[in-house]
């Protein structure tokens, strides 16, 4: 069973809340599919008459297309918080630069270069923070992590870059994240005006959207559990330091 690391609570909550949002939205889409003369109604007060709006076919298409934005939102929000949790955890553990595994050192150096190019030397460090620790978070900004380009391949590349692995899961159920590429492509086409919402929704069924959602949930949960295992096992440490940490944990147990 995966141990939930405190800094991962935010990522888990984001995942769960965005999933609930999508589930509520899909309940409405499924209702409209099953009731062709669908009507949206407002709840009347005693003084008011019932207000009704008939949902036409074109609006249904627009709503189906909007689901791609919600699906992508789930993926990027969860992944952003998961990677942010890695940096928060390492900073909280006060791990020094020389204690990190080589992959993390490269990430830290890349962040340092960015920080140096955009700041004056006096702005880089807080007083009293050791440079070996500061190197880990300098230049890191979770807002710049993915910028609308997240798909299954980039998630796996990011996992490789940080050195964590997705936990073993049913890859038949997740399709190993393959359809995240389609979600990213549709999201970007809609966001940048390459396709209209009605045209996008024309080619998308509710059942297909639900199937994609089910696959994404399994895949992203495997990522979250993989990050939790990575932090729990101190997989970010250089091999010698990691071995020492593991021995310490065993002695405590």
Quote the pLDDT of residue 130. Answer: 61
Nearest to 219, CA basis, from 147, 130, 152? 152
- Assigned domain for 134 exists: no
- Assigned domain for 54 exists: yes
On the question of pLDDT at 131 being above 70, the answer is no
Q: Whole-model pTM? A: 0.86
What is the CB-side half-sphere exposure of residue 157 using CA atoms within 13 A? 8
Per-residue pLDDT band at 48 (split at 50, 70, 90): low
- Assigned domain for 115 exists: no
Quote the pLDDT of residue 72. Answer: 98
pLDDT tens digit sequence for 194-220: 999 999 999 899 999 999 999 999 999
Quote the pLDDT of residue 97. Answer: 86
On the question of pLDDT at 246 being above 60, the answer is no
Size of the chain, expressed as the number of residues it contains: 253
- Assigned domain for 113 exists: no
Tell me which of 84-98, 144-158, 187-201 is least confident. 84-98
Output 112 or 177, whichever has higher pLDDT: 177
- Assigned domain for 86 exists: yes
Q: What's the whole-number average pLDDT of the chain?
A: 86
On the question of pLDDT at 128 being above 60, the answer is no
Query: Is the separation of the CB atoms in 7 and 231 below 8 Å?
Result: yes
- Assigned domain for 126 exists: no
Per-residue pLDDT band at 127 (split at 50, 70, 90): very low
Conformation bin of residue 211: beta by default, left when phi > 0, alpha when psi is -120 to 50: alpha
- Assigned domain for 101 exists: no
d(CA 45, CA 28): 23
Dihedral sign from CA coordinates of 63, 68, 69, 75? positive
DSSP-derived secondary structure for 61-123: HHHHHHHHHHHHHHHHHHHHHHHHHHHHHHHHTT--GGGB-HHHHHHHHHHHHHHHHHS-HHH
Per-residue pLDDT band at 120 (split at 50, 70, 90): very low
- Assigned domain for 237 exists: yes
Between the alpha carbon of residue 85 and those of residues 8, 91, 103, 202, the distances in Å are: 6, 10, 17, 39
Cβ neighbours around 109 below 10 Å, total: 14
Nearest to 164, CA basis, from 77, 103, 105? 103
Which of 85-94, 125-134, 194-203 is the most confident on average? 194-203
On the question of pLDDT at 251 being above 50, the answer is no
Domain that holds residue 25: 6-96+143-252
Query: Is the separation of the CB atoms in 18 and 74 below 8 Å?
Result: yes
Q: How many domains does the chain have?
A: 1
Quote the pLDDT of residue 121. Answer: 46
């Amino acid at each position: 069973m995966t141990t939930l690391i405190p800094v991962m609570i935010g990522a888990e909550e984001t995942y769960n809340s965005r999933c609930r949002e999508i589930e509520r939205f899909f309940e409405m889409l499924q209702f409209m599919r099953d009731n062709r003369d669908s009507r949206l109604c407002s709840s009347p007060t005693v003084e008011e008459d019932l207000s009704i709006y008939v949902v036409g076919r074109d609006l249904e298409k627009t709503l189906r297309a909007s689901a791609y934005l919600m699906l992508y939102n789930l993926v990027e929000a969860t992944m952003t918080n998961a990677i942010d949790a890695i940096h928060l955890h390492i900073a909280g553990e006060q791990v020094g630069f020389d204690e990190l595994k080589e992959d993390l050192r490269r990430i830290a150096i890349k962040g340092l270069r960015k920080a140096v190019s955009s700041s004056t030397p006096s702005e880089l460090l807080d007083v009293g923070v050791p440079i070996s620790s500061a190197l880990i978070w300098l230049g890191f900004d979770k807002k710049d992590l993915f910028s609308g380009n997240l798909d299954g391949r980039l998630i796996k590349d990011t996992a490789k870059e940080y050195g964590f692995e997705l936990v073993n899961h049913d890859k038949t159920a997740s399709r190993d994240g393959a359809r995240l590429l389609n979600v990213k492509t549709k999201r970007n086409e809609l966001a940048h005006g390459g396709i209209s919402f009605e045209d996008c929704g024309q080619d998308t069924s509710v059942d297909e959207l639900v199937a994609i959602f089910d696959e994404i949930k399994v895949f992203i949960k495997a990522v979250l559990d993989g990050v939790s295992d990575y932090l729990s096992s101190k997989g970010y440490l250089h091999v010698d330091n990691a071995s020492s940490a593991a021995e310490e944990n065993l002695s405590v147990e």
